[in-house]
Structures are given as structure tokens and as C-alpha cells.
Amino acid sequence: MRDAATTISGAWRSEDGTAVAFRDAAVAWAMAAHEVLTETATEYGYYVTAQELAERVQEMSGVRTDAPTRTWMDAILRKVARRCHNGGEPPLTALCVKRNLKVSDSYKYVLELAALPVPADIETHAAYARWACYAAHGADVPADGGTPPLIPRGGSARRSSDGSAASRPAPPKTESRTVVCKSCFIQLPATGICEHC
């Protein structure tokens, strides 16, 4: 049972109900989120919703909150984006989508970190970033390289809340291999030189 201090802090340890400062909780959640998103990136076409990610990070970290996910998840995704950027990793936050299967506004932080303008179609940029995540984390990318996976309206493959695969996507059919910039994940023109970097 939670005590008054727990209610005030907004976060508590699930094992004994002791209060956890929200700042400390956010660090624990961001570390867990990076792990969950890295695991998600190991399977081509997989993604996770913000609500599923929120549940998994609370479970993994042993730190819980009853605050609405929308009030704290963007901060966690920004921490993960910063860690990926500083570590030279593709932005794992592209693998986290809202219920409508689109990236949240916090995805713009990925572009801010890379000093890139927000493109007219941020979903395409996120698809290229997902593709880079799959390639970097050893996913079984289609032999022809595949195409950056936009998440279809009905969804495709995602990890269920227990971490198992909910379904397997059919490999996309493509005519040619798409090449993307390793810095900003935007499709390169025929010259092979990024116009944004």
C-alpha cells in the first residue's frame, strides 16, 4: 500500500511502496525504455506503442506511477533520443508510436538533436529511422535491403506487453534498394550526397 509521501512524489517502488523522486523515476524509466526499444529493433518491422512502453518500463524498473502516460512519456523518449544521439546510435524512439500508429511530437527532438529541419512528412523520416534501427541492431532485414517501414493503418508487427511477438509481417516487396544518410536518415539522392547534412 502506498503512503502519503508516495502520493506526493507521483512515483513509488512496486516492491515496498516507498516514494521515488520523479527525476529518479524518469532516469530508471529511460534506461528501461532504451532496453525495450533495443530489443524491439532486433526484429524487422516491429514497434511498440507508448502505452505498452510505459507499462514495460514500469515493470522492468520496479518504479510505478499513476500519472497519465501522456504527462511523462515524452520526457522519457527525449532522454532515450539524447542517449542514442550521443552514442551514435540510430534514434530508437522512432520505434515508439501513439495509438494512431504515428510518432509523437517528441520525435521532433531527434531532428533538433541532429540540427535538421522538421520535414513536411515526419512519418517518412521516422520510417527511415526505424529501418536504420533494424539494420543497426541485427534484425533480419530483407535481402534486397527492404524499404523504410511505414506502419500501415492496421498495424503490422509489434511486441506484445510481455515482450513476445504479436504477429509477423510479410516482408515488403521492393523494386530497388533505398540508401539513407547515416546521420539524418533521409533518403539520399542519386548523387549519394546528403543535401541536409
What is the structure's pLDDT at 113?
A: 96
Taking the complete model, does pTM exceed 0.85, yes or no? Answer: no
Q: What is the pLDDT of residues 9-35, one digit of tens each?
A: 589 999 999 999 999 999 999 999 999
Q: Please tell me the distance from the alpha carbon of residue 146 to that of residue 142, in angstroms, as a whole number.
A: 5
- All residue ranges of the chain with pLDDT < 50 are 1-8, 160-161, 164-176
Query: What pLDDT was estimated at residue 171?
Result: 41
pLDDT for 189? 72
Output the pLDDT for position 156.
53
Query: Which residue has 517528441 as its cell numbers?
Result: 106
What pLDDT does 78 receive?
97
Kindly tell me the burial class for residue 74, based on how many C-beta atoms sit within 10 Å of its own C-beta (0-12, 13-18, 19 or more): middle
Query: Tell me, what's the pLDDT at 184?
Result: 67
Task: State residue 144's pLDDT score.
Answer: 75
Alpha helices (H) in the chain, listed in sequence order: 4-9, 22-40, 50-61, 73-87, 108-113, 122-136
